[in-house]
Structure 1
């Protein structure tokens, strides 16, 4: 890191906001010319510690242009020394609508499998997890290959097109033995795909919606690697109940996986845990060998390790029965799904979103005071409500941090602009 990039922890937020604004003068307004700050496209820049929020007026742009300028603004803000995270919020482009997709009517649970890097075994894990879940009696499973640029599921499961359509014109998934599968690789005829973000998102969402999945207990979605547009738009539009991250134990891979985890959490997708692939191998002499430097993955990611897979041909065997490690992974995924599902927000939750800060604090403390001992208090906010918890502690005459002062206390993020606080008195 260059000397001028070192920023003290106590940098005033006003100074950091000014540096971000100055940096944004390098981003061109594609409509009016000039930079996005002087043209009025960027309407506000705010900083909370090292997290930057940029408000932008994207009306008048088509969706591809809006995507491009949003990403340019975000990347320039992240390039400012001292900025750890940046989000761009604002009015939608003309013609844009809420494109959140409802889950297929017959599908109970959608599980995404993702990785920060390619080549770490994500598709192998996705496919074997689907096979392991399907091995449970009377458990119907589908596999959706959303990795547009590397659709390898057909090759792993030895599947071929063409795709047929049902009477309603929906694509019928391919029978893959114990499960059904759909992949863009079954449509593209092995031709190279070079789609831009908006086109790729449309392909993913339409294929997801227009597939006749039928009645499924679980649908496993194999996402593209990385944190690009396709992954982001998939997280914001597909009805994902929980996600599994795949990483090798190498420190670089784990660090990149941490950034992926942040993206999932920012978009309200529950992280079920991590699969550590290629942990090591056992040679013919019987000795075990590590392939990478040892890393405490669970501590680094602050998420449970669902399983550790060896560098072994058995893990990549799709011809015989499901490997025992994958059966264990399926069991761990089911247990974690029960944990994340055990958090529902009642209709009477106090919704503070959009209210001025003083009113938020006043309403939260007043309503918490009248909560009976033993009752649950739920609060919705458009940013992290954890700072309010200290005021709730004081409001009822308690001492110490919320985790000690209350019987139970939890804060969860459920979407880009939705946080939940749950407190039991």
Structure 2
């Protein structure tokens, strides 16, 4: 179900957690063969205002298997009548995304680049985007290669380690011409490494925190492909200001990308839009050819298409000149960053954190009714307030999802336990 779809009021929420549990019994533990509840892989199921949160112990599963299990749990939960949204919280020993990482003091903006699967050109896009942003002589830009299983940024930029440390013990990023770069590939020196659970979390968070980025206008983060635990850890802990998704035009790729979009939205990360890679090519005869069946990507993902990249050597050229398509992408990203912007919260915002659920609903609807047309209502909550926004629609006699019912509607996650909602009547 889409993020802002409203579940019919006649679907009861009483016993919803138990109905979700019953549905999850159809998901098999890949190691033990029994259902995920019997095996203990699912550790907790909780429901809050039609939002289901499933705790899952993914310890010992390799990354692709963990992704498959996560997606199976999410699909099964969303198929339960009465469920509006479902999130999976992977558990690993002695690690987790309990605390958000403060952004490096000198870094203004962090942009994540992600893809639903490998092979769609995500690293090429992220690296070219960083180069294009750095082409502005007035801006300092860096790139953080967080793809632990395929750290290819050093290869694309022709960089070599080892990484040195400064006097404070922080890692010095490698100079890559107009930008600076850090990657686990610069530390491992192409040696094969097995990342799992706590190791993966620590590798991402510590390398991000312990790099001496200096003063940067923008830091581009190349995330691993998929929707697995490492990506979720990054979304919940790194201070990401906006995300760019990468997909090919193929319907399967677009469908998978929609799941990535849902994951980002569930974790309060603003989506800047999608880069459609390998759109087609022009042969020597001058005719244009499609590589994949065409798909209306913008309509399918409900996100703007930032750039269409052809299947062309110039897109993969990391020489002195930045491809014009990458410069076009950089302009589109800047525009979208300005559009989504951070939500500044005024002192008079309604703070519902820590209050009992009935009091939250009562206060939110009462104060929202008291706002004047054209006035913006701000609300702070300790979890996603999107379901509460649906109640605000009815509180003022409107209909439809909040994004359609109100002049302006936005939800942002600013910390693991701090969400802000802004609604303009």
Q: Are residues 417 and 388 of structure 1, via their aligned partners in 2, closer, same or farther at CA, if it must alter by over 3 Å?
A: farther
The 10-residue stretch of structure 1 (335-344 or 200-209) with the greater mean CA deviation from structure 2: 335-344
Native 8 Å contact 1:254 1:301 kept in 2: yes
Native 8 Å contact 2:59 2:91 kept in 1: no
Q: Residue 214 of structure 1 corresponds to which residue in structure 2?
A: 214
CA deviations 1:394-414 (Å, max 9, x no partner) are 4xxxx65567775x3314242
* Alignment RMSD (CA, Å): 3.7
Q: Residue 6 of structure 2 corresponds to which residue in structure 1?
A: none
Name the SS of the counterpart of 1:412 in structure 2.
strand
Q: What displacement does 1:20 show? A: 3.1
Q: Residue 392 of structure 2 corresponds to which residue in structure 1?
A: 389
Q: What displacement does 1:147 show? A: 0.8
Q: What displacement does 1:75 show? A: 6.2
Q: What displacement does 1:98 show? A: 3.7
TM-score between the two structures when normalised by the length of structure 2: 0.82
Name the SS of the counterpart of 2:396 in structure 1.
helix
Q: What displacement does 1:72 show? A: 10
Q: What displacement does 1:167 show? A: 1.1
Matched, 1:46 2:47: yes
Q: What displacement does 1:134 show? A: 0.6
Native 8 Å contact 1:144 1:221 kept in 2: yes
CA deviations 1:29-78 (Å, max 9, x no partner) are xxxxx986899x956543866x533479x9xxxx958999x999966744
* Aligned pairs for 1:267-306 within 5 A: 267-306=267-306
Which structure has the larger Rg over C-alpha atoms? Answer: 1
Native 8 Å contact 1:74 1:86 kept in 2: no
* Aligned pairs for 1:20-419 within 5 A: 20-22=20-22, 45-46=46-47, 52-54=52-54, 77-78=73-74, 80=76, 82-83=79-80, 86-87=86-87, 98-341=98-341, 343-381=343-381, 382=383, 383-384=385-386, 385-394=388-397, 408-414=407-413, 419=419
Native 8 Å contact 1:27 1:72 kept in 2: no
Q: Residue 6 of structure 1 corresponds to which residue in structure 2?
A: none
Q: What displacement does 1:135 show? A: 0.5
Native 8 Å contact 1:246 1:277 kept in 2: yes
Native 8 Å contact 1:23 1:76 kept in 2: no
TM-score between the two structures when normalised by the length of structure 1: 0.82
Q: Are residues 73 and 20 of structure 1, via their aligned partners in 2, closer, same or farther at CA, if it must alter by over 3 Å?
A: farther
Native 8 Å contact 2:73 2:88 kept in 1: no
CA deviations 1:287-334 (Å, max 9, x no partner) are 000000010000000000000000000000011300111001000000
CA deviations 1:215-256 (Å, max 9, x no partner) are 111111111111111111011111111111110000000000
Aligned partners of 1:274 and 1:405: how far apart in 2? 25
Name the SS of the counterpart of 1:187 in structure 2.
helix
Q: Which has the higher contact order (CA 8 A, sep 6+)?
A: 2
Q: Are residues 285 and 160 of structure 1, via their aligned partners in 2, closer, same or farther at CA, if it must alter by over 3 Å?
A: same
Q: Residue 31 of structure 1 corresponds to which residue in structure 2?
A: none
Aligned partners of 1:193 and 1:15: how far apart in 2? 45
Q: What displacement does 1:351 show? A: 2.3
- For structure 2, the 5+ residue unaligned runs are 1-8, 30-34
Q: Are residues 249 and 55 of structure 1, via their aligned partners in 2, closer, same or farther at CA, if it must alter by over 3 Å?
A: closer
Aligned partners of 2:225 and 2:214: how far apart in 1? 28
Native 8 Å contact 1:146 1:204 kept in 2: yes
Aligned partners of 1:404 and 1:21: how far apart in 2? 33
Aligned partners of 2:360 and 2:92: how far apart in 1? 26
Q: What displacement does 1:170 show? A: 1.1
Q: What displacement does 1:95 show? A: 8.4
Q: What displacement does 1:200 show? A: 1.1
